[in-house]
């Protein structure tokens, strides 16, 4: 029994030594999306990230729920309803500006794969009625910045801002957001 206990304790130290540097982070925020200069959506966003921290540099992958859109339009001949969901999968690199205090400012860059899923319904008063689904994707680039505050040895509070721009769309298409979240360091 003692040998099993010693083996379990040693295995635990080995696993914790290998986990050093890894982290997970969850962020909640608010995002504003403009398409060709027209305000499209302002919505609550959620992001989950997993990454590795090796000193001043960090790298992470993330999944972000950018938001949902629902719009209706009608006139005397027809009505249309559009509902859409926008999600993003990203890879980010950060540079941490370590200070002597508990605050760590950072800047970063992000490459992303963004996906839009939409449903369109059209009801004609004097003509055909229809419903269709649209799915599209586009890659993007982004800039990130913020500050992390060390609450505990393994827990940091994150306050961040971001600017993301889908490629292959007009220069007037972009997303701007602000986030708050917690990071757990293994």
| Residue-level pLDDT at 71 | 78
Residue at 29 is within a domain: yes
Q: What is the pLDDT of residues 142-176, one digit of tens each?
A: 999 999 999 999 999 999 999 999 887 767 788 89
Residue at 130 is within a domain: no
Tell me which residue range forms the domain holding 28: 19-69+87-115+140-185
Q: What is the pLDDT of residues 76-135, one digit of tens each?
A: 888 888 888 889 999 999 999 988 789 999 999 999 999 989 888 888 877 778 888 989
* Residue from 148, 40, 47 nearest 88 by CA: 47
Check whether 11 has a pLDDT greater than 80.
no
Our CA dihedral for 166, 148, 180, 114, rounded to 10 degrees, sits at: 20
Residue at 63 is within a domain: yes
| Residue-level pLDDT at 12 | 46
- Cβ atoms of 57 and 96 closer than 8 Å: yes
| Residue-level pLDDT at 2 | 54
Residue at 76 is within a domain: no
Q: How many domains does the chain have?
A: 1
Residue at 128 is within a domain: no
Identify the sign of the CA torsion 24, 29, 35, 40: positive
| Residue-level pLDDT at 3 | 56
Q: pLDDT tier at 18 (50, 70, 90 boundaries)?
A: low
pTM, two decimal places: 0.78
Residue at 125 is within a domain: no
Residue at 165 is within a domain: yes
Residue at 159 is within a domain: yes
Check whether 40 has a pLDDT greater than 60.
yes
CATH code for position 172: 2.40.160.20
């Amino acid at each position: 029994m003692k040998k099993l206990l010693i083996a379990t304790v040693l295995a635990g130290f080995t696993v914790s030594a290998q986990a050093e540097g890894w982290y997970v982070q969850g962020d909640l925020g608010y995002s504003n999306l403009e398409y060709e200069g027209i305000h499209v959506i302002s919505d609550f966003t959620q992001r989950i990230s997993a990454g590795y921290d090796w000193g001043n540099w960090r790298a992470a992958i993330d999944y972000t729920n950018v938001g949902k859109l629902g719009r209706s339009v009608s006139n005397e001949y027809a009505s249309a309803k559009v509902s859409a969901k926008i999600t993003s999968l990203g890879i980010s690199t950060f540079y941490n500006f370590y200070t002597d205090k508990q605050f760590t400012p950072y800047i970063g860059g992000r490459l992303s794969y963004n996906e839009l899923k939409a449903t369109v319904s059209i009801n004609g008063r004097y003509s055909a009625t229809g419903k269709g689904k649209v799915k599209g994707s586009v890659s993007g680039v982004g800039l990130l910045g913020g500050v992390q505050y060390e609450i505990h040895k393994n827990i940091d509070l994150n306050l961040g801002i971001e600017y993301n721009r889908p490629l292959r769309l007009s220069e007037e298409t972009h997303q701007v957001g602000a986030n708050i979240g917690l990071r757990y360091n293994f």
